[in-house]
Amino acid sequence: MNNNIYRNGLKPPLKWAGGKRWLVPYILPIWEQHAKGRLVEPLCGGLAVTLGLLPQGALLNDINRHLINYFRWVRKGLTIKRPLKNDKELYYHYRSNFNDLIKGKKGHTKKAAELFYYLNRTGYNGLCRFNQKDEFNVPFGSYKNINYVTDFTPYKALFQQWEFSSVDFEKLQLQEDDFIYADPPYDVEFTSYSKDGFTWEDQVRLVKWLLKHPGPVVLSNQATERIVELYADAGFKIAYYDAPRRISCNGDRSPAKEVLATRGI
């Protein structure tokens, strides 16, 4: 994949399982036809697509409030002073600290943002997973070397142009000419991205919500049979691409089929 897709040189600061960096060259020509509007990502994840498209205005939402808290602190010019090491003992210590902040209703703090970044970079495969108690439970990763960033001020000016929120996507206040890019969690067994997960009913609810929007919509997901049927029945135009596998339980790293569905383009 062309590393120049991030035209301002700012790559996503987080590892993000299922990130759509590889899709940016396919989405960019569509976006450029509507770039005068606002980009809305109702499930923004690690911002791979937003940083590739570089909108002047954006509404970036995710139900994962810890992710959004991190982005909000980056927008303020986050710098990290605490030690960041690829060390198993330190990892579990910081994970415990992070979960204590959540329990203490301090998940919105700068300390929580710092720890979230460290856990993301150091944990297994860039996973972000919470149990039913809203505790981060990703195990220690297996990286030989990790290049930690401690100064996020290069992102500050760009992030100032964008609004970040953490609500259910149906609560977002849209404008008629908004360009929506929606990338829901894959239609697979693993959905524990937040403590409430993302169910098949949420997949259907998302499509129904998108159908109400009069402006352009781009939607991506793994090409499971029922996802393809759902999008096709809703009138989306569907293109297929071979997606690089990011996580595999059985060691299979072969390409997985991905759909890029468009409407109102």
**Phi/psi of residue 146, nearest 5 degrees:** -130, 130
Neighbours of 262 (CB within 10 A): 17
DSSP 8-state secondary structure symbol assigned to residue 10:
-
pLDDT digits (tens, 9 = 90+) for 193-245: 555 678 999 999 999 999 999 999 999 999 999 999 999 999 999 999 998 76
Cα–Cα distance for residue pair 34/52, rounded to 1 Å: 15
Q: Which of 78-82, 103-107, 243-247, 260-264 has the lowest mean pLDDT?
A: 243-247
pLDDT digits (tens, 9 = 90+) for 23-65: 999 999 999 999 999 999 999 999 999 999 999 999 999 999 9
CATH number for the 3-64+160-263 domain, one of 3.40.50.2300, 3.40.50.150, 3.30.230.10, 2.60.40.10?
Answer: 3.40.50.150
Q: What is the pLDDT of residue 31?
A: 97
> Tokens 């009069």 appear where?
214
Q: What is the pLDDT of residue 17?
A: 85
Of residues 162 and 197, more confidence is placed in 162
Cα–Cα distance for residue pair 130/133, rounded to 1 Å: 8
* Domain residue ranges of the chain, discontinuous segments joined by +: 3-64+160-263, 80-150
- Predicted model pTM: 0.92
Q: Which CATH architecture has domain 80-150?
A: Orthogonal Bundle (1.10)
DSSP 8-state secondary structure symbol assigned to residue 37:
S
